[in-house]
Amino acid sequence: MSQDDVSRRRKLLVLGNGMAAGRVLEELFARAPDRYDVTIFGAEPRVNYDRIMLSPVLAGEKKFDDIVVHDDAWYAKHNVDLRKGETVVAIDRAARNVRTHSGIVERYDDLIIATGSRPILIPVPGAELPGVVTFRDLDDVNAMLAAASGGGNAVVIGGGLLGLEAAAGLAANGMRTTVVHLMPTLMERQLDPNAAYLLQKAIEKRGIEVLTSANTNAILGDTHVTGVRLEDGRTLSADLVVMAVGIRPNIALAKEAGLEVKRGVIVDDLLRTSDENIFAVGECVEHRGQCYGLVAPLYEMAKTLAASLAGEQVSGYTGSATSTKLKVTGVDLFSAGDFSEGNENDEVVLRDPRRGIYKRVILRDNKIIGAVLYGDTADGSWYFDLLKKGADIAEMRDTLIFGQAYQGGVPMDPAAAIAALSEDAEICGCNGVCKGAISQAIITKGLTTIDDVRAQTKASSSCGQCTSKVESILKFTLGDSYSAAGRKAMCKCTDLTHEEVRGFIISKSLKSVPAVMQELGWKTSCGCPTCRPAMNYYLLCAWPGEYRDDAQSRYINERVHANIQKDGTFSIVPRMWGGVTTPDELRAIADVAERFNIKTVKVTGGQRIDLLGFKKSDLPAAWAQLNAAGLMSGAAYAKGLRTVKTCVGSEWCRFGTQDSTGLGIKLERFLCGSWTPAKLKLGVSGCPRNCAEATVKDIGIICVESGYDIHIAGAAGLHVRGTDLLGHVDTEEDAIEYVAAFMQLYREQAAYLERVWKWVEKYGLDRVRTEIMDDHDGRKALLERFQKSQLAVRRDPWAERAAGRELHEFTPLAALAPITAVAAE
């Protein structure tokens, strides 16, 4: 682009880096990528993230990285100047510039105010005490998680959406939680009393106490909150108080600048304020007397504003109908429109007490004006679409309550039901994505999988409740080609994918193989050799130290710690740390070979010795003898760490730059016993001559004069693939830390039996580099979870049985020292 082109660009300043502002820029760059130079001032010291997914982060179901909307690379790609942690304190409309808290002055041609909202703090004594938090951003979540780490009591003031999501998250983190709600029923603005009753029962089943018609009188404590006193005199013990009583538009900056404000910043249908060069969008806005606190209206505003800024002719934003979903795992709830009592209203109600289902559709003049669904929300999108369009439902009145599938006399399958929805029917409320946008993306961009659709449209990328609808659109749009190109079930026992099973294990807190099969509707009574090992792995990964490894869900090789051969005998491969052994170890191996008449003793490609031809009945005695000599299984059968191949390095080789043998031994001792989705092989070469063949390993390290180059995703089997460079580190300790963090990321994200190279190609090399090399806090968290899982590794059952003792305890990274053995399981 020429300098003239750059100079002709208008200067756009955006005040706020939330979801509304982010969606405006997405739409603007898609329509007119070269129209503006964009600078964003964001009060938070981080990139744009999905605030509506803070509840799953609090509950431990997602990490911050999972909810990032725009990472640093996105801003760089679009040449956006993002000023993190920089708050604008004044707008000079005459000079067309803004001033920040640090004194920076920046001019603009056009300005967008997207300052969002502020949480309401009830004016009671003690409201400013440490330990009183709100629930609006990641800092609030981190404060709640820090408080929850010590256990104790939490009081959540407010029984609306955010309050209940906060309570569920705190309870999931081990706090004794009480919800205090002023009104007689929960979520009274979104639910009728019947649905609220069912919701309260569900919340209380989670161990959360619910107090309705309860008014807070004071928050107690001197230097930190200790309790909450209610108006009726009751006192609740509290180590943490969460205020979730509502929000109000953040209009202070606009008001100070002299813009027209009431409850929010007043805007017209083009989202223009009373100043023709200043626009506003999101929760800070008041449009036609209405302020919105849900994401779908914000996205509709953003689309209109982006089109206007791009110079397009637009009809303007006319307001939004809104719907509500609660993001508490296991609670299905949908609400839309007006469900208040009225003589002119008609209603249709369905109750199924045994299944915990309640549905109520409110009608006026044969049109839906409101709907409340609890327990079965599958038809929420359909009712909402009929409501928004003002459709006449007279002909379907008798079957309306049974949902879309029962219209026309013949039940529809899910794909046909989706096909019957209009193109502008909302499918993903979290991200404001309609059916037509998904269909168009599938056709024009050649999308074939759920992941493709998520990446292109964001549909189903947040809470995931619309995944089945998105899948139905895929199935309908692709027709017969869908089964070949679309999702792949884990096995014949279930229609769920590996990713879905893993997600449900975490979200539903499933902690045994029978629990997974029962709760997820397995088609077989006991599973199969494909799904049982996968379930066992996902449970181990999700609940280290809590889930007890199921031996019957492991392959025979893993159960006996030996590889079965084609003649039915077994081979044993003792571990040799980094390929290094001693005369005593060699004598012990020779003694076992002689005692059990082993005819073939072979050196493996992994620098170890393989003893072939053991009878299964001899394996316990053979392992007992090897254990007594300090030898343990090399896990040559494992879906886990197998070998760390090394060269002699700087200690012996004239070309060696670092002690590759020593580093290889430390790595193997640190990582040993770890389970992974598939077998894992490492190599450490002492110089770029690469004698340990590190560049065809799952993880390889090349020692250089300045430190260590870490490589990943190599393969040397049926598929030969050279590694990709992950990055460079300076010290051995860094090398071990970065490798362990990468292993943990692979363990948490890859499907069972998915090799490293396949997973990296799917997950994205750039994304891996960002999470391991660039994100210091994220990497440390991965390392911490890895070490926690290693501490939970149990003893080798054969070693325990034969030797009657634990051979090795996991050595943390900070205390690596020569040690003798590691438990294989």
Return binding residues for siroheme. 691
Dihedral sign for Cα atoms in the order 471, 514, 676, 542: positive
d(CA 82, CA 597): 71
Structure tokens at 477: 């749009």
- Cβ pair 682, 726 in contact under 8 A: no
Q: What 3-state DSSP class applies to 342? A: coil
Burial 342-355 (b: 16+ CB within 10 A, else e): eeeeebbeeeeeee
- Cβ pair 674, 786 in contact under 8 A: yes
Structure tokens at 300: 């509709």
Please give the angle made by the CA atoms of 647, 649 and 655, to the nearest 5 degrees: 110
Integer CA distances (angstroms), 503 to 329, 450, 510, 751, in order: 11, 15, 10, 11
Largest CA distance in the chain: 95
End-to-end CA distance of the chain: 58
Structure tokens at 215: 């008014």
Q: Measuring CA to CA, which residue among 64, 51, 2 is closest to residue 22?
A: 51
d(CA 486, CA 408): 29
- Cβ pair 562, 619 in contact under 8 A: yes
Q: What 3-state DSSP class applies to 463? A: coil
The binding site for [4Fe-4S] cluster consists of: 647, 653, 687, 691
Structure tokens at 425: 């029917």
d(CA 271, CA 145): 38
Integer CA distances (angstroms), 599 to 439, 612, 614, 624, 715, in order: 64, 7, 10, 20, 31
Residue partners of 124: CB distance under 8 A and separation at least 6: 216, 217, 218, 219
The binding site consists of: 647, 653, 687, 691
Q: Measuring CA to CA, which residue among 147, 135, 140 is closest to residue 173?
A: 147
